[in-house]
């Protein structure tokens, strides 16, 4: 309990250092572009791969479970869309990103800490937390909703592809289901969740990396902790946001 | 000039620095020497603000560093350069970008001006034709030289070196020592070096403080050190059989 409170306090102090005006805006924007590429653009292939298969699987499972002839087949498309929008494209993708970008951030910053590169920045008078962490947090928080939209589109395409390949239902029924009872607010809800989750992933992973100690083993430990804690908090915040927004 | 007065630091109730007072003058290489665990790294880290002392004062010229807020300390840091034990070059940047890093933050120079300055600093430390290399492509000695070039990029008033020779062969060590010494004299820098390398002590020790169990037990220069009566210092300096035989040969 004491350790948890200590961590929360240290995390808050670090965020106070992070959210300060950058020393030079041109350096910040340059880093923002670098991080956007590294954290978001580079994640598109893995997100696409997972989304296309999950979309296909959701359609197959739903079609197999809707055997009642009184339930229209278009509900397969409707349920696939709802599952993807409400839960998969934000929460599941965020959990995957916690592993991918969380470990990347914690090990990158952790290595810089143990090789004294962060100390070198501090001694130069550079706000190391602001320089290293702020571009990561802003890039991932601002751009991650686009990743959620990418996941949604590709997931729905995955569903369509499996219908074309297996013919479990007609493609037109699937498309009707996608258009049925469309709520734009659900997209907003999912994009908001994704932005919050990515804020948690980048800030928590940066925190564990920034305070890494104990050589390469310490970097490994901080990387593991970053993934575990951010995954846990994603689940907790998923519950909170769902209660608040739906 | 840097002055420390009655500096005290403890970790978990165990004192590491016990009321240390010392003076580091411009144009001199001031050495902090002592065995591992004696407190010299904590002293150096206190000087640069990476460790906060429990008591005591650190003065940078007429500015009381220990009473400054982070923004004021940042202004002092802009006048300081540091060479780290492992060089601490930024992995993500080339040699040229490493040297230009402090200029990017604290000057409004054009790219050409920064490049000129970086090339000047790199030439001063004899690093030529390596601007586009990454730190991982350099030898340990070259990394240290680039570290020095980065440290002097903004003409610092203060230079801090943590074990500048660790991991280097004796010839490269001497070259690095001489380079630090020359730069200190040339630019009238207040240089503080943390070392336990006896070659460095005898080569560039203008002003030496020997720390033992958190206290400064002896102070002097490279000429005095071989004739000291301090038992702990002699135990540190003449630790090996070879140095003890040398001591006998010089008649002490």
Q: Tell me: the pLDDT tens digits for A117-174?
A: 999 999 898 999 999 999 999 999 999 999 999 999 999 999 999 999 999 999 999 9
Query: Residue B223: inside a domain, yes or no?
Result: no
The shortest C-alpha distance from B244 to chain A (Å) reads: 36
The enclosing H or E element of B210 equals: strand B207-212
Residue-level pLDDT at B250: 66
Mean pLDDT of the residues in chain B: 89
Residues of chain A with pLDDT below 50 are none
pLDDT tens profile B212-245: 989 999 999 888 888 888 888 888 888 777 777 7
Instruction: Out of B50, B74, B86, name the one closest to residue A125 (CB).
Output: B74
Res. B165 pLDDT band, cuts 50 70 90: confident
Query: Residue B116: inside a domain, yes or no?
Result: yes
Instruction: Out of B48, B86, B89, name the one closest to residue A123 (CB).
Output: B48
Query: Residue B108: inside a domain, yes or no?
Result: yes
Residues whose CB is less than 8 angstroms from the CB of residue B90 and which lie 6 or more positions away in sequence, other chains included? A112, A117, A120, B97, B98, B101, B135
Diameter over CA atoms, chain A = 72
Query: Residue B185: inside a domain, yes or no?
Result: no
- Which residue intervals of chain B are DSSP H helices? 40-48, 70-77, 95-106, 111-124, 140-151, 170-187, 198-204, 231-237, 241-249
- What is the distance between the alpha carbons of residues B107 and B97, in angstroms, rounded to a whole number? 14
The residue of B70, B104, B167 whose CB has the most chain A CBs within 10 angstroms, and thus the best one to mutate to test that interface, is: B104
Residues whose CB is less than 8 angstroms from the CB of residue B60 and which lie 6 or more positions away in sequence, other chains included? B2, B76, B79, B158
Q: Do B77 and A117 touch (CB under 8 A)?
A: no
Query: Residue B93: inside a domain, yes or no?
Result: yes
The more confidently predicted of residues B250 and B141 is B141
- What is the distance between the alpha carbons of residues B142 and B228, in angstroms, rounded to a whole number? 36
The shortest C-alpha distance from A120 to chain B (Å) reads: 7
Q: What is the mean pLDDT of residues B8-29?
A: 92
In this structure, are residues A80 and A173 in contact, taking their beta carbons and an 8 Å threshold? no
Query: Residue B14: inside a domain, yes or no?
Result: no
Instruction: Give contacts of B81 with chain A, Cβ < 8 Å.
Output: 123-124
Instruction: Give contacts of B49 with chain A, Cβ < 8 Å.
Output: 122-123
Report the percent of chain B where pLDDT is more than 70: 99
Q: Which residue of B has its CA nearest to A121?
A: B102
Query: Residue B117: inside a domain, yes or no?
Result: yes
Number of domains in chain B: 1
Task: Tell me how far apart the terminal alpha carbons of chain A are, to the nearest angstrom.
Answer: 32
Range of the domain at B124: 80-155
Query: Residue B251: inside a domain, yes or no?
Result: no
């Amino acid at each position: 309990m004491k350790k948890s409170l200590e961590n929360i306090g240290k995390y808050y102090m670090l965020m106070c250092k992070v959210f300060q005006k950058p020393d030079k805006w041109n350096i910040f924007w340059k880093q923002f572009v670098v991080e956007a590429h590294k954290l978001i653009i580079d994640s598109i292939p893995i997100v696409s791969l997972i989304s296309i298969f999950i979309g296909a699987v959701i359609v197959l499972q739903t079609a197999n479970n809707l055997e009642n002839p009184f339930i229209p087949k278009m509900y397969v498309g409707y349920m696939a869309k709802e599952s993807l929008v409400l839960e998969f494209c934000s929460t599941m993708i965020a959990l995957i990103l916690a592993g991918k970008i969380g470990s990347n951030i914690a090990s990158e910053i952790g290595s810089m800490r143990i090789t004294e590169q962060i100390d070198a920045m501090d001694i130069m008078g550079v706000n190391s937390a602001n320089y290293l962490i702020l571009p990561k947090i802003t890039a991932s928080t601002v751009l991650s909703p686009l990743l959620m939209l990418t996941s949604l589109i590709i997931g729905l395409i995955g569903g369509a592809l499996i219908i074309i390949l297996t013919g479990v239902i007609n493609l037109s029924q699937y498309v009707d289901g996608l258009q049925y009872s469309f709520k734009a607010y659900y997209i907003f809800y999912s994009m908001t969740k994704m932005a919050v989750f990515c804020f948690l992933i980048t800030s928590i992973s940066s925190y564990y990396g920034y305070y890494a100690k104990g050589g390469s083993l310490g970097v490994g430990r901080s990387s593991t902790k970053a993934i575990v804690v951010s995954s846990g908090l994603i689940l907790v915040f998923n519950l909170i946001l769902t209660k608040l927004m739906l | 000039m840097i002055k420390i007065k009655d500096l005290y630091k403890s970790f978990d109730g165990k004192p590491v620095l016990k009321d240390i007072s010392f003076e580091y003058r411009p144009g001199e290489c001031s050495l902090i020497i002592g065995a591992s665990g004696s407190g010299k790294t904590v002293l150096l880290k206190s000087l640069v603000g990476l460790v906060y002392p429990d008591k005591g004062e650190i003065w940078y010229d007429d500015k009381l560093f220990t009473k400054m807020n982070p923004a004021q300390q940042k202004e002092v840091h802009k006048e300081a350069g540091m060479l780290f034990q492992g060089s601490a070059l930024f992995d993500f940047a080339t040699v040229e970008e490493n040297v230009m890093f402090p200029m990017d933050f604290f000057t409004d120079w054009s790219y050409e001006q920064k490049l000129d300055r970086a090339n000047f600093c790199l030439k001063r430390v004899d690093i030529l034709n390596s601007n586009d290399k990454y730190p991982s492509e350099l030898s340990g000695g070259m990394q240290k030289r680039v570290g020095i070039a980065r440290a002097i990029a903004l003409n610092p008033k203060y230079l801090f070196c943590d074990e500048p020779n660790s991991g280097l062969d004796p010839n490269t060590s001497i070259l690095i020592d001489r380079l630090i010494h020359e730069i200190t004299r040339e630019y009238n820098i207040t240089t503080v070096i943390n070392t336990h390398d006896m070659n460095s002590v005898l080569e560039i020790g203008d002003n030496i403080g020997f720390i033992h169990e958190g206290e400064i037990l002896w102070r002097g220069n490279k000429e005095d050190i071989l004739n000291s009566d301090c038992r702990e210092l002699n135990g540190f300096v003449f630790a090996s059989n070879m140095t003890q035989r040398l001591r006998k040969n010089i008649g002490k």
